[in-house]
Amino acid sequence: MDDIAIRKEGRAGRITLNRSKALNAITYEMCVAIDAALKVWREDDEVALILIDAAGDRAFSAGGDIAEMYATGTRGDYSYGRTFWFDEYRMNARIADYPKPVVSFLQGFTMGGGVGVGCHGSHRIVGESSQIAMPECGIGLVPDVGGSFLLALAPGRLGEYLGTTGARMGPADAILVGFADHFIAEAEWDALKVRLVETGDAAVVLAAATEPPDGRLATLRAEIDAHFAGETLGDIVRALKHAESPFATEALKALGRAAPLSAACTVEMLHRLRPAPTMRRALEMEYRFTYRAMEHADFIEGIRAAIIDKDRNPKWRHAGPEAVPAVDVSKMLMPLGPDALTFEEEGK
């Protein structure tokens, strides 16, 4: 498959995303190929670690390839999207639970589906160009691919802030929030990959790590924790409206671009997950939303406005972030019964 290069080199199982012109957007076929390789390498004693990287310098992966989801969804066929998410989430869980080290190199944009591939391993490396984000609320989804799990584990209320606004994290912020582990100058990456392949020893990553350039979130923590601590999205918006600061103004503007139902569900999901966060619980809850997203939420309209017509003027189902009834949130996050995400094949 030209879109992805999967091979064994030395002591490493190597996965290289190879759609640089499409910012390495993850297709369904790529998800299936990654999952299949991980299953094989788990039982292969010659493979000591997994190394995941991507072609080009603009992006590790800017997200999932959602064009086919839109095309099928607008015809009233929701099965393709549901199958994509079902299998993608199982692959994300396999990376998170993998018994061998998984080392990822996250240059440029790592967003959405790219987070699902690159941000659940054991050694997540960022460099000078790294920009990590979960911008799903802007297209009528919620932070998924296990993103809600990482956000629920984030310090204070950084999860609510990043999940609803889609704000981007540079290398220091990604490490602070828990989306990455180590900063290594990108000029050193090729040599580090050679050592990983030769030795099969993920400890060489630690020896190469240095301090990242300063981020912005550490200085904003007090404001974020104060304003994003509400029980609902409406509480958060009201707190921001009463604040008089450049940060509050910027955050309100970002929330104004989000689908209100998506942002409200994101806040509720993080509140549910935070007391006992697990990757599989997060994925199962995300799937409740994405399973319903094309039919009962704003996903189709969000894609139309952002990617198809590119008018940046979506007509959301709700008038604003304070206009989402609690019952609408509950309906999107209700258990799916026999359609629920399952992980039965894990460990086989």
Q: Which residues contact 40 (CB under 8 A, 6 or more apart)?
A: none
Q: Is pLDDT at 228 greater than 80 in this prediction?
A: yes
**What is the average pLDDT across 284-308?**
96
**What is the average pLDDT across 218-244?**
96
Q: Is 59:24 a contact under the CB 8 Å cutoff?
A: yes
Q: How far is CA 260 from CA 233, 237, 315, 332, in A?
A: 8, 11, 11, 13
Locus of tokens 């104004």: 256
Average pLDDT over the chain reads 96
Q: Is pLDDT at 346 greater than 50 in this prediction?
A: no
Query: Among 158, 177, 170, which Cα is nearest to 270's?
Result: 158
**12-17 and 4-9 as β-strands: parallel, antiparallel, unpaired?**
antiparallel
The catalytic residue among 13, 108, 113, 200 is 113
Full-model pTM: 0.97
169: β partners: 132
The catalytic residue among 88, 144, 284, 298 is 144
**What are the helix and strand counts (H, E) for the chain?**
16, 9
The catalytic residue among 88, 136, 173, 181 is 136
Q: Is pLDDT at 24 greater than 60 in this prediction?
A: yes
Q: Is pLDDT at 68 greater than 70 in this prediction?
A: yes
Q: Is pLDDT at 348 greater than 60 in this prediction?
A: no
Which amino acid, one-letter code, is at 8? K
Give the length of the chain.
Answer: 348
> How does pLDDT run across 88-147, given as a tens digit for each residue?
999 999 999 999 999 999 999 999 999 999 999 999 999 999 999 999 999 999 999 999
Q: Predicted confidence band at 291 (pLDDT cuts at 50, 70, 90)?
A: very high
**What is the average pLDDT across 154-158?**
98
Residue 21 tokens, joined: 């012109």
Query: Among 46, 92, 97, which Cα is nearest to 286's?
Result: 92
Fold of 4-339: 2-enoyl-CoA Hydratase; Chain A, domain 1 (3.90.226)
Q: Is pLDDT at 161 greater than 60 in this prediction?
A: yes
Could you state, in order of their start, the residue ranges of all structural domains in the chain? Answer: 4-339
> How does pLDDT run across 180-200, given as a tens digit for each residue?
999 999 999 999 999 999 999
CA angle 71, 75, 81 (to 5 degrees): 55
Query: Residue 347 has what pLDDT?
Result: 44
CA atoms within 13 A on the CB side of 190: 4
> Residue 251 burial (CB < 10 Å; 0-12/13-18/19+)?
buried
Active-site residue flag, 144? yes
Q: Predicted confidence band at 344 (pLDDT cuts at 50, 70, 90)?
A: confident
Task: Report DSSP letters for 37-91, one per residue.
Answer: HHHHHHT-TT--EEEEEESSSSEEE--B--HHHHHHHTTT--HHHHHHHHHHHHH
Active-site residue flag, 347? no
Active-site residue flag, 56? no
The catalytic residue among 13, 63, 64, 81 is 64
Active-site residue flag, 113? yes
> How does pLDDT run across 242-279, given as a tens digit for each residue?
998 999 999 999 999 999 999 999 999 999 999 999 99
Query: Residue 65 has what pLDDT?
Result: 86
Query: Residue 109 has what pLDDT?
Result: 98
| Strand, coil or helix: 286 | helix
Which DSSP helix (H) or strand (E) runs through 105? strand 102-106
